């Protein structure tokens, strides 16, 4: 069994195994003709259940053959130009190379004595990011597992910086289309059930600052404490960007921590054309970025950044077995002092390799392309009488619904759109997402693949219309 340990004597085995796996995936990517096979959980489960995990194959090629059967064949492929559903990006090769290196060396970024240069590389990537945001000379941050954890940590810091220990009096303000991790965080942080105040959005799905000002005023009048305002720079559903400068002004006036959730919109930090859309982000107290959404990085790759490094102390605990207090005076850099996690992946290496091979402009160019594609898609939808489209995109998301010519019953239109999404998924021809707008069912394209063309968008719209019409034809038959 020792031959399976990666070490000085097994270099050849390592090289062969990994190369074999890379070959399989490369062959798969080259021959994938659809983003999905349409397999159902019921069809796939027996194949996976049938595998006896206590009877190993003792053979890499056989295990890869089996993997083809239980995973690779039916996986959902984000690199395919007709995968248009969620905030998943195709990944860039330098980052995948970084991933291979980081898991083989397996540094753990909690302490210097488990990572050495890894710690310094992560710190450079953090500094690079805070520089792009413009957070100033005292800024810092740390990599996290994802935007959910980044938001949680940011709100933890905000809670600790708030001017009261009475958790029941704390209020967090976020738009009605902010990410659900704001609510989850409030719960985890022990805030009251009414802690998160939902602020309405305007026609473009941007937080209404007048409503925010009113709620902040009411909060003050009621003797409550405005702990934080969460501004979303790229909502999950619409890609809409809250008015950051106005929100920053209100945060200053009411003494609230300004958190910018840029899990999605962070791609603009590298943009060559649209960076100004997130102007005002530099006034934040904390920022969430998900490189695994708009920097074309593999999951996971995320960070929380703060204006004032000192606020990270709220996540600091010292343990004799890991990071004793004396190490601070000895100037030993232990990233665990800033993190909610202990053992932690060296995810920063993926972005490091990306910046070293492609450069930030390379990432920005790709992200600009998907933003431009969304604008083109919006024009197509706006000009197409078969569809109703919600907002002109600020990033790369399109939310729309099929409006059949002869149908006026909104519930029937809902059912036709739900059916179209399901039928499309089952066919595997394309994958699209769905959401609700004003109580009605809509469909969603999240465009993160620069390989997707307007022809793909047109073709998928035709497929959607076809499935919806088929549903309506059948429901007409049922009614007769
Ligand atoms: C995706 C997303 C998150 C959560 O990030 P994960 O990496 O999925 O945990 C938070 N906020 C916004 C706006 C998002 O789009």
Q: Residue 411 Cα, ligand 1 centroid: separation in angstroms?
A: 30
User: Does 431 fall in a domain?
Assistant: no
d(CA 126, CA 133): 11
SS3 43: helix
User: Does 397 fall in a domain?
Assistant: no
Burial class (CB in 10 A: 0-12, 13-18, 19+), 123: middle
Residue 401, C-beta contacts closer than 8 angstroms, at least 6 positions apart: 387, 388, 413, 417, 440, 441, 442, 443
Q: Which residues of 343-368 are buried (b: 16+ CB within 10 A; e: fewer)?
A: ebbbbbbbbbbbbeebebebbbbbbb
Is 294 found in the same domain as 171?
A: yes
With a 6 Å cutoff on the Cβ, whether 232 touches ligand 1 is: yes
Percent of the chain's residues with pLDDT above 90 = 96
User: Does 253 fall in a domain?
Assistant: yes
- The parent domain of residue 231 ranges over 98-358
pLDDT tens for each residue of 361-413: 999 999 999 999 999 999 999 999 999 999 999 999 999 999 988 888 999 99
CA atoms within 13 A on the CB side of 269: 28
d(CA 307, CA 124): 16
Is 71 found in the same domain as 105?
A: no
Angle (nearest 5°) at CA 403 between 401 and 407: 140
Is 342 found in the same domain as 296?
A: yes
pLDDT tens for each residue of 279-311: 999 999 999 999 999 999 999 999 999 999 999
Q: Residue 147 Cα, ligand 1 centroid: separation in angstroms?
A: 4
Residue 450, C-beta contacts closer than 8 angstroms, at least 6 positions apart: 90, 366, 369, 370, 373
User: Does 476 fall in a domain?
Assistant: no
pLDDT at res. 138: 98
Is 108 found in the same domain as 73?
A: no
pLDDT tens for each residue of 254-270: 999 999 999 999 999 99
The domain boundary, picked from 297, 325, 358, lies at 358
Residue 475 has pLDDT above 90, yes or no: no
pLDDT tens for each residue of 180-207: 999 999 999 999 999 999 999 999 999 9
pLDDT at res. 477: 79
CATH code for the domain in which residue 340 is found = 3.40.640.10
3-state helix, strand, coil in the chain (%, to 5): 50, 15, 35
* Residue minimizing CA distance to atom 15 of ligand 1: 236
Q: Residue 354 Cα, ligand 1 centroid: separation in angstroms?
A: 22
Please tell me what DSSP assigns to residue 432: -
What's the mean per-residue pLDDT of the chain?
97
Residue 339 near residue 110 (C-beta atoms within 8 A) = yes
Is 261 found in the same domain as 338?
A: yes
Q: Can you name the residues that pair with 196 across neighbouring β-strands?
A: 172
With a 6 Å cutoff on the Cβ, whether 265 touches ligand 1 is: no
Is 34 found in the same domain as 170?
A: no
Is 167 found in the same domain as 59?
A: no
Q: Residue 441 Cα, ligand 1 centroid: separation in angstroms?
A: 22
Is 261 found in the same domain as 213?
A: yes
pLDDT at res. 407: 87
d(CA 153, CA 415): 40
Which atom number of ligand 1 is nearest to the Cα of residue 87? 1
Distance (Å) of CA 369 to CA 91, 358, 384, 400 = 15, 16, 23, 21
Which atom number of ligand 1 is nearest to the Cα of residue 290? 7
Q: Report which secondary-structure segment, H or E, holds 391.
A: none
The domain boundary, picked from 19, 45, 77, lies at 77
CA-based nearest residue to 111, from 349, 341, 352:
341
Residue 479 has pLDDT above 80, yes or no: no
Residue 11 has pLDDT above 80, yes or no: yes
User: Does 270 fall in a domain?
Assistant: yes
Is 250 found in the same domain as 185?
A: yes
Which atom number of ligand 1 is nearest to the Cα of residue 236? 15
CA-based nearest residue to 109, from 334, 318, 353, 350:
334
Please tell me what DSSP assigns to residue 81: T
Within 10 angstroms of residue 434's Cβ, the number of other Cβ atoms is: 16
* Residue minimizing CA distance to atom 10 of ligand 1: 147
User: Does 229 fall in a domain?
Assistant: yes
Residue 37 near residue 428 (C-beta atoms within 8 A) = yes
Structure-model confidence comparison of residues 226 and 480, the more confident one: 226
Is 211 found in the same domain as 64?
A: no
C-alpha R_g of the chain: 24
User: Does 83 fall in a domain?
Assistant: no
Is 331 found in the same domain as 203?
A: yes
Residue 41, C-beta contacts closer than 8 angstroms, at least 6 positions apart: none
pLDDT tens for each residue of 310-366: 999 999 999 999 999 999 999 999 999 999 999 999 999 999 999 999 999 999 999
pTM, rounded to two decimals: 0.97
With a 6 Å cutoff on the Cβ, whether 87 touches ligand 1 is: yes
pLDDT at res. 405: 86
Encoded tokens for 224: 């409550």
In which residue are the tokens 């090289």 written?
A: 15
Percent of the chain's residues with pLDDT above 70 = 100
Q: Residue 180 Cα, ligand 1 centroid: separation in angstroms?
A: 9
pLDDT at res. 478: 75
pLDDT tens for each residue of 69-111: 999 999 999 999 999 999 999 999 999 999 999 999 999 999 9
Is 45 found in the same domain as 159?
A: no
Encoded tokens for 19: 């190369």
The count of domains in the chain is 2
Give, rounded to a whole angstrom, the gap between the first and last alpha carbons of the chain.
68
Encoded tokens for 117: 């240069």
d(CA 171, CA 191): 8
User: Does 400 fall in a domain?
Assistant: no
The domain boundary, picked from 343, 358, 373, lies at 358
């Amino acid at each position: 069994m020792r031959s399976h340990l990666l070490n000085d004597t097994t270099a050849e085995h390592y090289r062969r195994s990994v190369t074999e796996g890379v070959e399989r995936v490369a062959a798969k990517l080259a021959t994938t003709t659809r983003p999905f096979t349409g397999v159902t959980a019921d069809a796939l489960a027996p194949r996976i259940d049938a595998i006896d995990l206590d009877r190993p194959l003792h053979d890499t090629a056989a295990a890869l053959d089996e993997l083809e059967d239980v995973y690779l064949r039916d996986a959902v492929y984000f690199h395919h130009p007709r995968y248009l559903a969620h905030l998943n990006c195709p990944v860039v090769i330098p980052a995948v190379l970084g991933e291979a290196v980081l898991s083989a060396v397996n540094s753990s970024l909690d302490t210097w004595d488990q990572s050495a240069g890894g710690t310094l590389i992560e710190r450079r990537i953090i500094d690079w990011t805070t520089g792009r945001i413009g957070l100033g000379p005292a800024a810092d941050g740390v990599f996290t597992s994802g935007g959910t954890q980044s938001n949680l940590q940011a709100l933890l810091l905000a809670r600790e910086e708030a001017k009261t220990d009475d958790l029941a009096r704390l209020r967090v303000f976020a738009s009605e289309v902010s990410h659900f991790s704001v609510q989850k965080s409030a719960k985890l942080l022990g805030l009251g059930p009414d802690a998160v105040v939902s602020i309405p959005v305007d026609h473009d799905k941007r937080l209404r600052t007048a409503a925010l000002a009113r709620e902040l005023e009411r909060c003050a009048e009621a003797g409550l404490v405005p702990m934080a305002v969460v501004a979303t720079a790229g909502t999950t559903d619409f890609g809409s960007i809250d008015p950051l400068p106005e929100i920053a002004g209100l945060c200053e006036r009411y003494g609230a921590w300004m958190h910018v959730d840029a899990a999605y919109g962070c791609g603009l930090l590298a943009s060559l054309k649209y960076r100004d859309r997130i102007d005002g982000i530099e006034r934040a107290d904390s920022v969430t970025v998900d490189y695994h959404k708009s920097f074309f990085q593999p999951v996971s790759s995320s960070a929380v950044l703060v204006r004032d490094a000192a606020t990270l102390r709220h996540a600091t605990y010292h343990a004799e077995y890991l990071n004793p207090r004396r190490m601070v005076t000895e100037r030993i850099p232990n990233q665990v002092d800033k993190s909610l996690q202990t053992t932690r992946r060296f995810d920063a290496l993926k972005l490091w390799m990306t910046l070293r091979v492609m450069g930030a402009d390379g990432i920005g160019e790709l992200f600009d392309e998907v933003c431009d594609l969304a604008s083109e898609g919006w024009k197509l939808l706006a000009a197409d009488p078969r569809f109703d489209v919600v907002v002109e995109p600020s990033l790369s998301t399109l939310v729309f619904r099929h409006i059949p010519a002869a149908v006026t019953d909104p519930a029937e239109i809902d059912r036709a759109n739900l059916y179209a999404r399901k039928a499309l998924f089952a066919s595997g021809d394309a994958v699209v997402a769905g959401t609700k707008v004003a109580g009605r069912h809509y469909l969603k394209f999240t465009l993160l693949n620069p390989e997707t063309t307007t022809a793909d968008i047109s073709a998928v719209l035709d497929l959607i219309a076809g499935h919806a019409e088929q549903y309506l034809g059948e429901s007409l038959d049922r009614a007769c």
